[in-house]
């Protein structure tokens, strides 16, 4: 759990602090006052890659040279985490010692819901890939390392294709295939695990690149066990596909096969709607999409709790708008199991009232 948080030069805050934080904190205020900035700061300081900014320098208050987020955790082993954003990069310190993001993720785990999450299933594939990757970065440091390695090698392979340096392609494909196998198997494993935990009658549909070329592998055991069982098989498959696509890639000048072209979706059967599962992104209403995303987050929280060193912290930005009373209560029921930060423009929502009736909660009203 987070005990204290201090923001310095972060977006609209010159200096802002919260101390002795309870299990659930509700942050209320009008639009534009800085509610979202608070949950964004916690997400950024946790090493999460799931943020709303375009360039990281956007979090630095106008006219200032840096922004800082200081967090003190409240656990058996209290930890000081500091994130400093300066010169277009974020630096992390754990107990005053410079640290990698992977170490920070071992100390604090977060999951964020924001209004834009409703676009998870109807938006572009890059958004869906980013959602899976953000979860896997917390679950597996190896996945995070392989993600970086893959995209560095992919950049070099694409450059070789553009500049017609075709003799270099096999060199980059060795690194690519090993890292790509980790990414493909990791996402496959995660989707299977989420499907198992999903609260509704849901069926995930994993569309590897190109669509449906790579079938879902059976979910069995941990991510590491899946990697050990299937990595060589996927590496061989990818090298064969790149060889098959070689002439076409020479013409287009970029890599046509790999994790950078993944997509996934979800099929759900809604009561009184149809007997057949429908594609959430195409046929579900906005309200159904919103609740489906929230249910995926229920499953993700459970998964993070199982596989991470720390119980996840749930960051809910404007979650109650567009939800009826019954669904607000569902969110509150799950939120009460975790340390949760909830932002709202309306402290009179039924969900907010339900939260504040519980023990170990507080309401913070940001002044205009």
Has 258 been labeled as part of a binding site? no
- The predicted pLDDT at position 356 comes to 80
**What is residue 115's DSSP assignment?**
G
pLDDT in tens, the chain (368 residues): 999 999 999 999 999 999 999 999 999 988 888 999 999 999 999 999 876 666 888 999 999 999 999 999 987 789 999 999 998 899 999 999 999 999 999 999 999 998 888 889 888 999 999 999 999 999 999 999 999 999 999 999 999 999 999 999 988 898 899 999 999 999 988 988 888 887 544 556 655 443 344 555 555 677 888 888 888 888 998 999 999 999 999 999 999 989 999 888 887 776 666 667 778 888 878 888 888 889 899 999 999 999 998 999 999 999 988 888 888 888 988 999 999 999 998 877 777 788 888 788 899 998 87
29 is in an annotated binding site: yes
pLDDT of 181 reads: 93
pLDDT for 211 equals: 37
Q: What is the pLDDT of residue 210?
A: 36
| Residue 32 annotated as part of some ligand binding site | yes
Hey, CA dihedral for 183, 130, 153, 209, is it positive or negative?
Answer: positive
Long-range contacts of 235-242 (CB under 8 A, 24+ apart): 235/177, 235/178, 235/180, 235/181, 238/173, 238/176, 238/177, 238/180, 238/181, 239/173, 239/177, 241/213, 242/169, 242/173, 242/176, 242/177
Tokens 């920070």 belong to which residue?
104
202 is in an annotated binding site: no
Contact 259, 150 (CB under 8 A): yes
Q: Which domains does the chain have, with CATH numbers?
A: 1-109+313-368 (3.40.50.300), 120-308 (1.20.1050.90)
* pTM confidence score: 0.90
The 3-state DSSP class for residue 71 equals strand
Residue 123 known to bind ligand: no
User: Is 35 annotated among the ligand-binding residues?
Assistant: yes
Residue 197 has a pLDDT of: 80
């Amino acid at each position: 759990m987070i005990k204290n948080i201090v923001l310095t030069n972060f977006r609209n805050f010159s200096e802002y602090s919260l101390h002795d934080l309870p299990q659930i904190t509700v942050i209320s205020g009008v639009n534009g006052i800085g509610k979202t900035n608070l949950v964004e700061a916690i997400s950024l300081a946790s090493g999460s890659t799931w943020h709303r900014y375009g360039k990281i320098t956007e979090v630095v208050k106008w006219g200032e040279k840096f922004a800082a987020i200081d967090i003190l955790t409240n656990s058996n082993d209290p930890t000081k985490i500091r994130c400093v954003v300066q010169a277009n990069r974020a630096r992390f310190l754990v107990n005053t010692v410079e640290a990698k993001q992977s170490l920070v993720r071992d100390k604090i785990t977060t999951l964020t819901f924001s209004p834009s999450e409703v676009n998870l299933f109807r938006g572009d594939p890059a958004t869906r890939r980013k959602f899976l990757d953000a979860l896997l970065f917390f679950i597996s440091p190896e996945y995070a390392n392989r993600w970086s390695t893959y995209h560095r090698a992919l950049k070099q392979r694409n450059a070789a294709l553009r500049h017609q340096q075709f003799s270099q392609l096999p060199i980059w494909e060795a690194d690519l295939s090993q890292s790509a196998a980790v990414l493909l198997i990791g996402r496959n494993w995660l989707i299977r695990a989420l499907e198992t935990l999903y609260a509704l009658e849901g069926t995930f549909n994993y569309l590897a690149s190109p669509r449906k070329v790579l079938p879902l592998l059976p979910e069995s055991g941990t991510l590491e066990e899946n990697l050990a069982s299937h990595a060589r098989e996927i590496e061989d498959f990818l090298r064969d596909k790149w060889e098959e696509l070689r002439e076409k890639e020479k013409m287009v000048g970029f890599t046509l096969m790999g994790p950078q072209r993944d997509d996934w979706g979800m099929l759900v059967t809604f009561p009184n709607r149809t007997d057949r599962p429908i594609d959430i992104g195409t046929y579900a209403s906005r309200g159904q999409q919103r609740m489906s995303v929230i249910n995926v987050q229920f499953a993700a929280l459970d998964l993070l709790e199982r596989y991470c060193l720390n119980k996840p912290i749930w960051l809910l930005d404007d979650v109650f708008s567009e939800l009826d009373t019954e669904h607000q209560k569902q969110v509150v029921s799950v939120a009460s199991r975790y340390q949760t930060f909830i932002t709202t423009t309306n402290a009179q929502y039924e969900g907010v009232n339900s939260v504040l009736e519980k023990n170990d909660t507080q309401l913070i009203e940001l002044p205009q």
